[in-house]
Amino acid sequence: MGDSSLREDKEKLRLFVLFDLADRSYFSRLISHMSPLLSSFVRLTSPEDFKAVVPLRAERWLSSHIESADVLVLLVSPDLLASHVYEVTISRALERARQGKMVLIPILIRPTVLEGTPLADRQMLPRRGRALSQCVDEEQDLLEIVREIRAISEEHWQRRSLPQSLSAPISEGRSRGLAGSGQLRRHYRLDEVFKRAGLPTVTFVPPSNFERLKLALVEPGRGVVIEGPSGIGKTTAVQKAIRQLGKWEIGQEQQQTITLLSARMPADRERLASLPDWHQGVVIIDDFHRLEPGLRQELIDYLKLLADTQPEDRKLVIIGIPGTGQSFISSIAFDTATRFDHFKMGRASDKEILQLIKQGEQALNVTFECKDEIIRLVDGSFVLTQFLCYYLCAYYKAIQTQLSHVVIRSGLTEAIQDLMGTLEMKFGLAIRQFAAAGGPYDQTGLYLLEVLSQNREGVLWLSLLQRAEPGRAHDVERFLSQCWPQLVAAHPELTFHLFCDPSVGVLLAEDPTLIFYLRHCRFDLLAREIGKRPAPSRQQVFICYAHEDRKWLKQLRRFLAPIEQKGLFDLWDDTLISAGSRWKEKLEDAIARAGVAIVLVSAKLLASDFVMTNQLPKLLERARLAGTLIIPIIVSPCLFEESELQHFEPANDPQKPLALLPKPAQEQALTNIARRITAAVTARSE
């Protein structure tokens, strides 16, 4: 009986709870909820055993438990992080967790500053992000924590209990029942599931109009126009539709051929120039926007002819960027326009991106805990989703369908770094060449890249940009007419990544991974690397404010808008930071480039740790070293005279804050402030 109990005890998981004795009450409550778990397959040890350990042997005792633990639960609090126990164990614990030898489960017991600690990027329990001591219903949160510990422990126990022989790659015959459904699951390699190039198979997500697209491809004679941003799967959708329909079904009885031509390929462009002479069957033109304007017009006229005659033996399918379809529709007579099918494909929805991820999870038997973060980063791009999921799996060594389920809890930072390393090799040289155009004092190339990085579609209509930014209209026009032709002549490979058509005024990043690369670029570092010197053509005005004072930001912008529209200066605040950007770097770059800083002063701003310890010291340093002009505006009652801002003349009377003025007086004060700011900026520019 004793031997049996001992054997059963050895087969249990070793769960080690690490906590500071100041948190003993939380440990006791956690253990009371865990009692069913402890009696089944978990054997518990904890620092409570310290009382039986000689102090000189305590460090060795701790290390031995960390080495033997299957599950380590950390009760995180300021006392734990300050303790010697934590100091001597955390490095080895994290290393064993990274190696997959142990599961690390941190529980935030009391509010704790985690920035700068090894636990900063770990998922904490409870998942709501609040410490257990701050929860409204601690008992309910403890129950949820115990459920998560049980689920994670069971998964680890099952993995450990599998025979050693099953650690080899899974075959179809041996994978039965391992997916949790009892059904046979196919074995995949990582590159077969999350594909970085080529046509996706396992992770293909059909667009909402996919069935209508298949019907349009089957119907003889009718032309098909498909437009949408790059990286959303336009060409993939057409190829998938053809595969699902089958060539016979598309060609019908005539067994028509299907020819895919790309405007990127010189040989294909030559064939397209004589398309009416040889056209038989289905011809698909990809990247239509890349054709020369004359050839584009000839093909538009040919499409009109096909729409008029509706031949049974010829069909034309055209794929291009947004605007392609509209250019056709506007140039074709009303009755003819109804004789071809027009498909607009937008960026994938969050639901579609999630579907792609889940299909990959099922194929590889993994779960990504960071799905929400992936969806935010990829911004509707199937291609980027494939890349990030690939690198996350690779980081966790999930390079094929897993024998037992693997939870991918972190690694997103590393995945982004791996992706950026790959993209640097692909785009780095081309981006530096584009940014360097025009010489050391011409910032236009850098400016266009930065604006392009903020465009979700990867398309920059330069005519619209010139109207929105009249102060840059001349620079943009010169870049189009002079710099771009010189760039293409000197570096023809640049056109593989960036497409620019001066005739229609468009700059296009056709690869969504290029937009991702640009969003994660440090343009200030890039400028220094290529030898650009800070010579902004217009005055940039930085607005510093507390987020609670956003209404005053909007008010000030409204009164400054007529002057900004004249091109006298650029206003910048943190609402201009695009999703997915490195916001801290964007903020620092804006402060460094600003010649004038407006500070909306209130008690909320003076109490803001971030403003007072990050933004304001940088602005004061720029004022001291670079002469940045600081203009305080008192928006509500506060101790302005006690702050470091007292040394700068405010734009309004500190004794008459804007918030205390009646509406008409407020508007008059804002008008006067706008005039003072304009005068200061104009004088500074001169």
d(CA 125, CA 71): 15
pLDDT of 371 above 70: yes
Directed axis angle between helix 412-436 and helix 512-519, to 10°? 90
Q: What is the mean pLDDT of residues 322-342?
A: 56
Q: What is the mean pLDDT of residues 175-190?
A: 47
Return the pLDDT at 290.
Answer: 82
**Average pLDDT, whole number, for the chain?**
79
Whether residue 509 contacts residue 498, with contact meaning beta carbons closer than 8 Å, is answered with yes
pLDDT band (50, 70, 90) for residue 554:
very high
Whether residue 171 contacts residue 416, with contact meaning beta carbons closer than 8 Å, is answered with no
Q: What is the mean pLDDT of residues 372-388?
A: 91
pLDDT of 105 above 70: yes
Whether residue 405 contacts residue 181, with contact meaning beta carbons closer than 8 Å, is answered with no
Return the pLDDT at 4.
Answer: 40
Amino acid sitting at position 338: T
Q: What is the mean pLDDT of residues 184-198?
A: 79
pLDDT of 434 above 90: yes
Return the pLDDT at 51.
Answer: 43
How many CB atoms within 10 Å of residue 637?
13
Whether residue 475 contacts residue 442, with contact meaning beta carbons closer than 8 Å, is answered with yes
Instruction: Provide the 8-state DSSP code for 110.
Output: S
Whether residue 641 contacts residue 601, with contact meaning beta carbons closer than 8 Å, is answered with no
Q: What is the mean pLDDT of residues 454-473?
A: 76
Residue matched to tokens 């000189």: 56
d(CA 349, CA 336): 33
pLDDT of 585 above 60: yes
Return the pLDDT at 139.
Answer: 79
Residue matched to tokens 């003076």: 606
Please write the tens of the pLDDT for every residue from 650-666. 999 999 999 999 999 99
pLDDT of 213 above 90: no
225: closest CA among 335, 324, 312, 346?
324
Q: Within 13 Å of residue 105, how many CA atoms lie on the same side as its CB?
A: 23
221 burial (CB, 10 Å; 0-12 / 13-18 / 19+) is middle
pLDDT of 176 above 50: no
d(CA 579, CA 556): 24
Q: What is the mean pLDDT of residues 317-342?
A: 62
Return the pLDDT at 553.
Answer: 92
C-alpha distance across the termini of the chain, in Å: 94
Return the pLDDT at 87.
Answer: 82
Q: What is the mean pLDDT of residues 315-343?
A: 64
3-class secondary structure, 46: coil
Instruction: Provide the 8-state DSSP code for 169.
Output: P
Residues 6 or more apart whose CB falls under 8 angstroms from that of 516 comprise: 377, 378, 381, 384, 419, 423, 580
Whether residue 508 contacts residue 460, with contact meaning beta carbons closer than 8 Å, is answered with yes
Could you tell me which residue, 11 or 598, shows the higher pLDDT?
Answer: 598
Whether residue 155 contacts residue 407, with contact meaning beta carbons closer than 8 Å, is answered with yes
Return the pLDDT at 595.
Answer: 81
Please write the tens of the pLDDT for every residue from 560-583. 988 888 777 888 888 887 666 677
d(CA 500, CA 449): 12
Task: Give kind and range of the element (H or E) at residue 681.
Answer: helix 663-685
pLDDT of 533 above 70: no
pLDDT of 590 above 60: yes
Could you tell me which residue, 341 or 180, shows the higher pLDDT?
Answer: 341
Return the pLDDT at 42.
Answer: 52
pLDDT of 674 above 80: yes
Q: DSSP labels for 399-463?
A: -B--SS-EEE---HHHHHHHHHHHHHHHHHHHHHHHHHTT-TT--HHHHHHHHHHT-TTSEEEHH
Could you tell me which residue, 443 or 221, shows the higher pLDDT?
Answer: 443
d(CA 646, CA 665): 24
Q: DSSP labels for 583-600?
A: HHHHHHHHHHH-SEEEEE
pLDDT band (50, 70, 90) for residue 467:
confident
% of the chain exceeding 70 in pLDDT: 82
Return the pLDDT at 272.
Answer: 92
Please write the tens of the pLDDT for every residue from 602-635. 999 999 988 998 889 988 887 876 678 899 999 9
Please write the tens of the pLDDT for every residue from 242-257. 777 765 455 454 445 7
pLDDT of 183 above 50: no
d(CA 573, CA 252): 59
Bridge partner list, 283: 259, 316
Q: Per the structure block, which two tokens stand in for 235?
A: 């060409």
Instruction: Provide the 8-state DSSP code for 359.
Output: H
Could you tell me which residue, 624 or 674, shows the higher pLDDT?
Answer: 674
Return the pLDDT at 633.
Answer: 94
pLDDT of 178 above 50: no
> b or e along 510-527 (b: 16 or more beta carbons within 10 Å of the residue's beta carbon)?
bbbbbbbbbbbbebbebb
Q: What is the pTM of this model?
A: 0.50
d(CA 30, CA 142): 7
Q: What is the mean pLDDT of residues 16-20?
A: 86
Give me the domains of the chain, ranges plus CATH numbers.
2-161 (3.40.50.10140), 190-200+350-410 (no CATH), 210-344 (3.40.50.300), 419-529 (no CATH), 539-685 (3.40.50.10140)
365: closest CA among 561, 133, 187?
187
Return the pLDDT at 129.
Answer: 66
3-state secondary structure 60-81: HHHHHHHHHCCEEEEEECHHHH
Return the pLDDT at 670.
Answer: 92
d(CA 348, CA 379): 8
Return the pLDDT at 160.
Answer: 58
Highest mean pLDDT among 220-229, 242-251, 642-651: 642-651
Highest mean pLDDT among 63-67, 361-365, 408-412, 590-594: 361-365
Whether residue 226 contacts residue 238, with contact meaning beta carbons closer than 8 Å, is answered with yes
pLDDT band (50, 70, 90) for residue 430:
very high
Amino acid sitting at position 71: V
Q: From residue 592, give the alpha-carbon distance in Å to each of 328, 542, 649.
A: 46, 10, 21
Residue matched to tokens 């440990």: 27
